[in-house]
Amino acid sequence: MKIAIIGAGPAGIYTALLLEDFEGEVHLYEQNKDIGEKLKTTGGGRMNVTNKVFSETEFNSEDEKWVQTLFKNPHFENRYHLLEKLGIEYQWEKNRAILQSQDAVAEVDRLKSKVLEQDNLTLHLNTKIESIESQDAGFTINGESYDRVVLTTGGMYRMKDMGDSDYIYRLPQSLEHSITDQISPSLCPLIFLDKPLRAFAGISFVGRLTDTTNKKSVIDDLLITHFGISGPAALDFSSFAGEKIELSFVTSVTEKEFIHQFNESRNGKNSIRQFLKEFIPKRLVDYHLDRAEIDQDFMADVPKAKLQNLVKSLYHYPIPPRQKNVYPGSWTTNGGVKVEDIETKNLESKKHPGLYFAGEVIDCSGLCGGYNISFAMISAQIVADDLCLR
Ligand SMILES: Cc1cc2nc3c(=O)[nH]c(=O)nc-3n(C[C@H](O)[C@H](O)[C@H](O)COP(=O)(O)OP(=O)(O)OC[C@H]3O[C@@H](n4cnc5c(N)ncnc54)[C@H](O)[C@@H]3O)c2cc1C
């Protein structure tokens, strides 16, 4: 039995490694000169590998019912066991598990050594698969026959091989699989056309982003960058953000509680700057005081109207108009191969038995914080289970 895996991102690499005990040949094809080129850049080089909070609600798909059924697979619950099986060492940062080494490049090197050592596995680098022919019992790729094919070709954003959706999804489409009508960049930093926060690049804090139209909001870590804001809250928020967005710089207390605490502290020579440092990074204190037109040093001297300005600036900061989300810059793709033609029990094609899918190529994308690498790993194990049974 011969298996071809097309694409050596995490989904392809993990599928190949999880086929260690498969009694047959496994061929892993990658168009780039190395495996895991995108994986090396993940999590700012530290790679978020999974999350304590993990359910179907953290994933987007056109077909939510399909995702709910897929999530009944015990590998989702047992994902820590899979991390261990693949030798992925991690540490916790709040709910996110990041690499113990915090070095994604070294992790890809480690995976590559495992790939090269595995007896049943042949790695074909610099080999772009242009077409797959389906026959009665199997497939032909570059003149070679394979019994099974696993498509792990990823989503729209490729490190070097960009193109429109017809180009990126040409292999599944040539095998009669449809792609979703909606294909869009997901998990993108918010890039502002004006840059009012540029001077504060590098500051991170826990903030709340709210879409004032649909009232959806996200609270998590935010990072001010030269171009706008990034960090988990911004990336997750980008997947549903509309035009009108507000940022709250304070999340530790409600607006009402903030005003209450302010008024309680309005006596003697209590410094307003000292007070604000309890709630926001100190580099942002003068920025908000300027916006609120507060030039008083002492809390007792701040007029009520100016306190209202301050609360507005801290809790309802209007996000300036943004650049449209684009692929280089997005972490993942909303949309992909339609799931209605993929079996939930083993991720095999309903159109071509023997053809399987894993990872981002499937219309099932997760939020920021280890969900997508976990999905690559879990879907790889579901496929590998089935291939080992046959
Ligand atoms: C900057 C950034 C940071 C991220 N950080 C995180 C994070 O910390 N945690 C997390 O969970 N997710 C993160 N993601 C998302 C995550 O990297 C992807 O969801 C994941 O890589 C998808 O894995 P994949 O194997 O399905 O696809 P890819 O990683 O896209 O791999 C697909 C591979 O297939 C190859 N290929 C495609 N077509 C062909 C062909 N015809 N022939 C041969 N080879 C082909 C491509 O060259 C590519 O190497 C991040 C993404 C980016 C861009």
Task: For 351-367, write each residue's pLDDT tens digit.
Answer: 999 999 999 999 999 99
Q: Is the CB of 383 under 6 A from ligand 1?
A: no
Does 209 score more than 80 pLDDT? Answer: yes
**Mean pLDDT across 36-57:** 96
Q: Is the CB of 365 under 6 A from ligand 1?
A: no
Indicate whether 146 and 210 sit together in one domain: no
| Amino acid making up residue 272 | I
Does 48 score more than 80 pLDDT? Answer: yes
Indicate whether 236 and 179 sit together in one domain: no
Indicate whether 10 and 70 sit together in one domain: yes
Beta strand 138-141 pairing with 144-146:
antiparallel
Indicate whether 221 and 75 sit together in one domain: no
Q: Residue 158 has what pLDDT? A: 84
Q: Is the CB of 6 under 6 A from ligand 1?
A: yes
Q: In 268-307, which positions are buried (b, 16+ CB within 10 angstroms) versus exposed (e)? A: eeeebeebbeebbeeebbebbbeebebeeeebeebeeebb
Distance 45 CA to ligand 1 centre (A): 14
Distance 220 CA to ligand 1 centre (A): 24
Among protein residues, the one with the nearest Cα to ligand 1's atom 38 is: 153
Distance 38 CA to ligand 1 centre (A): 5
Q: Among the three residues 303, 324, 345, which one is the final residue of a domain in this structure?
A: 324
Q: Residue 136 has what pLDDT? A: 81
Q: Residue 178 has what pLDDT? A: 98
Which residues lie across from 107 on neighbouring strands? none
Q: Among the three residues 296, 324, 352, which one is the final residue of a domain in this structure?
A: 324
Q: Is the CB of 128 under 6 A from ligand 1?
A: yes
Distance 10 CA to ligand 1 centre (A): 7
**Mean pLDDT across 6-29:** 98
**Mean pLDDT across 79-86:** 98
Indicate whether 179 and 60 sit together in one domain: yes
- pLDDT tier at 381, thresholds 50, 70, 90: very high
Q: Residue 135 has what pLDDT? A: 86
Does 185 score more than 80 pLDDT? Answer: yes
**Mean pLDDT across 47-59:** 97
**Do residues 329 and 186 make contact, with C-beta atoms less than 8 angstroms apart?**
no
**Mean pLDDT across 45-72:** 97
Indicate whether 197 and 130 sit together in one domain: no
Using the atom order of ligand 1, give the atom closest to the CA of residue 37: 49
- How far apart CA 139 and CA 148 sit, in angstroms, is 7
- Domain with residue 64: its CATH number is 3.50.50.60
Q: Among the three residues 297, 324, 351, which one is the final residue of a domain in this structure?
A: 324
Indicate whether 68 and 99 sit together in one domain: yes
- pLDDT tier at 240, thresholds 50, 70, 90: confident
Using the atom order of ligand 1, give the atom closest to the CA of residue 35: 49
Q: Residue 329 has what pLDDT? A: 86
**Mean pLDDT across 25-40:** 98
Among protein residues, the one with the nearest Cα to ligand 1's atom 18 is: 372
Indicate whether 27 and 152 sit together in one domain: yes
Q: Residue 239 has what pLDDT? A: 86
Range from 208-212, 240-244, 274-278, 375-379 carrying the lowest mean pLDDT:
240-244
Distance 250 CA to ligand 1 centre (A): 34
Q: Residue 105 has what pLDDT? A: 98
For 316-356, write each residue's pLDDT tens digit: 999 999 998 888 889 999 999 999 999 999 999 999 999 99
Indicate whether 25 and 168 sit together in one domain: yes
Q: Residue 237 has what pLDDT? A: 95
Does 244 score more than 90 pLDDT? Answer: yes
Does 159 score more than 90 pLDDT? Answer: no
Domain holding 173, by residue range, is 2-185+330-389
Q: Containing H/E element for 91?
A: strand 90-93
CA distances 363 to 153, 299, 333, 375, Å, are 13, 53, 8, 11
Distance 148 CA to ligand 1 centre (A): 22
Does 142 score more than 90 pLDDT? Answer: yes
- pLDDT tier at 390, thresholds 50, 70, 90: confident
- How far apart CA 166 and CA 132 sit, in angstroms, is 16
Q: Residue 114 has what pLDDT? A: 98
Using the atom order of ligand 1, give the atom closest to the CA of residue 171: 41
- How far apart CA 95 and CA 150 sit, in angstroms, is 31
Distance 112 CA to ligand 1 centre (A): 15
Does 131 score more than 80 pLDDT? Answer: yes
User: In 1-103, where does DSSP find H-type helix?
Assistant: 10-18, 64-70, 74-77, 79-85
Which range scores top for mean pLDDT: 146-155, 235-244, 320-329? 146-155
pLDDT cut 90: percent of the chain above it: 93
Using the atom order of ligand 1, give the atom closest to the CA of residue 130: 41
Indicate whether 271 and 144 sit together in one domain: no
Q: Residue 60 has what pLDDT? A: 94
Indicate whether 311 and 247 sit together in one domain: yes
Among protein residues, the one with the nearest Cα to ligand 1's atom 6 is: 42
Name the pTM for this structure: 0.94
Token code pair at residue 321: 């108009």
Give the total number of structural domains in the chain.
Answer: 2
Q: Residue 204 has what pLDDT? A: 97
**Mean pLDDT across 74-95:** 97
- pLDDT tier at 40, thresholds 50, 70, 90: very high
Q: Is the CB of 188 under 6 A from ligand 1?
A: no
143: helix, strand or coil: coil
Beta strands in 103-239 (DSSP E): 121-124, 133-135, 138-141, 144-146, 148-151, 184-186, 190-191, 204-211, 217-224, 228-230
Indicate whether 7 and 86 sit together in one domain: yes
Distance 154 CA to ligand 1 centre (A): 5
Distance 370 CA to ligand 1 centre (A): 13
Mean pLDDT over all residues of the chain? 96
